[in-house]
């Protein structure tokens, strides 16, 4: 919400009021461990005379009212959304309650540091929907919930604002088969759940993704049934716990597992991953398992060996265009590292207008002249609109190519001599050089073949 007041120099009192407002606002998303210091800061400001600015409350009330009207007017767009879920509404309630409270310390505790305690009443949800409703109620102590009837924990705490997860460590999850996105985006989650029996869980995809404060031990988990660990700790920026005792023998998907987990720096050399598919079409995703983590520069030995094993005589051997796109997204892979001798089609391979292609991001095609294209039959649109392409590929063996239609169409900088090419007399060369310097001065063989087209 923008401040509509004209900028002016604040008085000392206004500065204190604004600082108190900022502290209370930050408490809405602050980790549990930071709340004590924020509480002390807020109380110190109040000691100095800081108060909740009534004008600020009025501004928020007006904003929330407008937002509620917008939700109503566009209810088809905002279906299922409530103004009560907005940050502004939550902040408004905090400011109003804090303003009215006589005991500010107690008010702070009740607003930001509520401690849920067992009420001695056991809740027994029969399905995931009932369980999700219970855990959304922050007044319910998680230890009072019997989860034995629920096998699916998908999205259970996704983007949860709950700060008190105490009691969750007592849950019997021995029957649970999927924890996909269970704590995804749960910013305040940092409970020790190492005691959980996860022996039947098969899918842990994105389980702790974006759980930015989570950093608890998990090494005792029995992960022998898990097949999917893709993005499990992606962007879990605080996580750095040993996982060397995990049994990952059945895991077949580890794509982006620690992507962006900046703190993670554990030794995983003991892991054995016989079922992970290192085929080329997944090479890019699997290859980014440690990207932006502390292991990015020093990955486990099995990872290095697996990546190297995808090379034949020191080169990668893609079979389809997607393989090449994934390879070239990695700036460490050069054109000369790629053996294309198994490929038969290069249709629109570097077409700058073809969405899946990576042509737009390639500034230097050096090394492509070494490619063995002798088995390729289709090069139509290969360098279409590839404005950065101007490499001497006169040494290519194109004798088996049946179509070069629009091969260099719009590649405005391509100006290499291709007179030595041995091109089939029945090859389709329509619009091959249109929009290039060669349009006016094509190779010697071009006109004869073009006339037949």
Residues in Cβ contact with 172 at an 8 Å cutoff, skipping those fewer than 6 apart = 146, 147, 148, 197
Whether residue 261 lies inside any domain: the answer is yes
pLDDT band with cut points at 50, 70 and 90 for residue 111: confident
- Distance of CA 315 to CAs 262, 276, 302, 327, 341, Å? 30, 21, 19, 11, 11
- Residue 259 resides in a domain: yes
Residue with tokens 């003991």: 270
The pLDDT value recorded for residue 187 is: 92
pLDDT at 309 over 80: no
Query: Is 154 in the same domain as 246?
Result: yes
Instruction: Give the Cα separation of 217 and 115 in Å (integer).
Output: 24
One domain for residues 18 and 127 = no
Give the pLDDT band (50/70/90) at residue 5: very low
Number of domains in the chain: 3
Q: Looking at the structure, do residues 337 and 358 belong to the same domain, yes or no?
A: yes
Stretch 235-263: mean pLDDT: 95
Are 334 and 448 members of one domain? yes
Which residue, 112, 143, 168, sits at the end of a domain? 112
Residue 247 clears pLDDT 60, i.e. is over it: yes
pLDDT for the residue 116: 66
Can you tell me whether residue 90 is helix, strand or coil? helix
Q: Are residues 81 and 176 in the same domain?
A: no
Is residue 2 assigned to a domain? no
pLDDT tens readout for residues 391-416: 999 999 999 999 999 999 999 999 99
Q: Name the domain boundary from 308, 336, 355.
A: 308
**Domain match, 204 and 143 both:** yes
Average pLDDT, integer, range 416-434: 97
298 and 329 part of one domain: no
pLDDT band at 2 (very low <50, low <70, confident <90, very high): very low
Q: What is the dihedral of CA 400, 406, 408, 412, to 10 degrees?
A: 170
Q: Is the pLDDT reported for residue 113 higher than 80?
A: no
Residues 132 and 57 in one domain: no
288 and 162 in a common domain: yes
**Domain shared by 155 and 98, yes or no:** no
Is residue 5 included in any domain, yes or no? no
pTM of whole model > 0.75?
Answer: no
The secondary element (H helix, E strand) that includes residue 55 is helix 54-73
Last residue of a domain, one of 308, 338, 359: 308
Q: Is 409 within a domain?
A: yes
Task: Taking residues 53-61, report their average pLDDT.
Answer: 90
Query: Is residue 71 over pLDDT 70?
Result: yes
- Rounded to an integer, the average pLDDT of 381-388 is 93
Give the H/E segment covering residue 316: strand 315-316
What per-residue confidence (pLDDT) applies to 263?
96
Domain assignment present for 284:
yes
Q: Is residue 7 part of a domain?
A: no
- Percent of the chain scoring above 90 in pLDDT: 62
- Pair of tokens at residue 184: 């995804």
In-domain check, residue 4: no
Do 164 and 209 sit in the same domain of this protein?
yes
Mean pLDDT of the chain: 89
Task: Decide: helix, strand or coil at residue 27.
Answer: helix
- Per-residue pLDDT of 312-347, as tens digits, reads 556 778 888 877 887 787 777 899 988 999 899 999
**CA 432 vs CA 36, 198, 379, 384: distances in Å:** 70, 59, 10, 9
Q: Looking at residues 268-280, what average pLDDT do you find?
A: 84
Do 186 and 284 belong together in one domain?
yes
The range of the structural domain enclosing residue 98 comes to 12-112
């Amino acid at each position: 919400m923008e401040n509509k007041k004209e900028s002016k120099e604040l008085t000392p009192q206004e500065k204190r009021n604004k600082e108190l407002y900022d502290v209370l606002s930050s408490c809405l998303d602050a980790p549990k461990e930071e709340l004590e210091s924020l509480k002390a800061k807020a109380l110190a400001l109040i000691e100095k005379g800081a108060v909740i600015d009534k004008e600020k409350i009025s501004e928020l009330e007006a904003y929330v009212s407008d937002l509620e009207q917008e939700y109503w007017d566009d209810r088809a767009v905002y279906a299922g959304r409530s103004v009560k879920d907005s940050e502004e509404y939550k902040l408004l309630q905090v400011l109003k309650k804090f303003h009215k409270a006589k005991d500010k310390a107690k008010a702070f505790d009740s607003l930001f540091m509520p401690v849920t305690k067992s009420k001695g009443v056991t809740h027994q949800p029969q399905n995931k929907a009932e369980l999700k409703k219970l855990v959304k109620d922050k007044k319910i102590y998680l230890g009072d919930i019997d989860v034995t009837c629920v096998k699916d924990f998908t999205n259970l705490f996704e983007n949860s604002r709950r700060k008190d997860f105490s009691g969750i460590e007592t849950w019997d999850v021995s029957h649970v088969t999927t924890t996909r996105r269970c704590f995804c985006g749960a910013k305040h989650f940092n409970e020790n759940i190492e005691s959980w029996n996860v022996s039947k869980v098969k899918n842990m995809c994105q389980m702790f993704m974006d759980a930015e404060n989570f950093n608890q031990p998990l090494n005792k988990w029995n992960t022998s049934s898990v097949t999917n660990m893709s993005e499990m700790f992606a962007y879990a920026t605080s996580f750095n716990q040993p996982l060397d005792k995990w049994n990952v023998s059945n895991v077949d998907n580890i794509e982006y597992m620690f992507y962006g987990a900046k703190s993670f720096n554990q030794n995983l050399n003991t892991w054995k991953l016989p079922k992970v598919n290192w085929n080329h079409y997944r090479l890019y995703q699997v290859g980014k398992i440690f990207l932006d983590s502390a292991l990015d520069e020093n990955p486990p030995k099995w990872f290095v060996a697996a990546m190297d094993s995808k090379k034949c005589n020191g080169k990668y051997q893609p079979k389809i265009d997607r393989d090449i796109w994934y390879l070239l997204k990695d700036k460490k892979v050069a054109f000369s590292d790629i053996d294309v001798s198994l490929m038969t089609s290069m249709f629109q391979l570097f077409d700058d207008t073809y969405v899946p292609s990576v042509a737009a991001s390639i500034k230097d095609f050096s090394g492509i002249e070494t490619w063995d294209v002798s088995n390729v039959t289709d090069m139509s649109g290969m360098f279409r609109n590839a404005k950065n392409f101007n490499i001497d590929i006169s040494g290519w063996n194109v004798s088996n190519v049946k179509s070069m239609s629009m091969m260099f169409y719009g590649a405005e900088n391509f100006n290499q001599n291709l007179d030595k090419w041995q091109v089939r007399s029945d090859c389709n060369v329509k619009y091959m050089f249109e929009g290039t310097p060669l349009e006016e001065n094509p190779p010697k063989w071009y006109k004869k073949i073009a006339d037949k087209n």
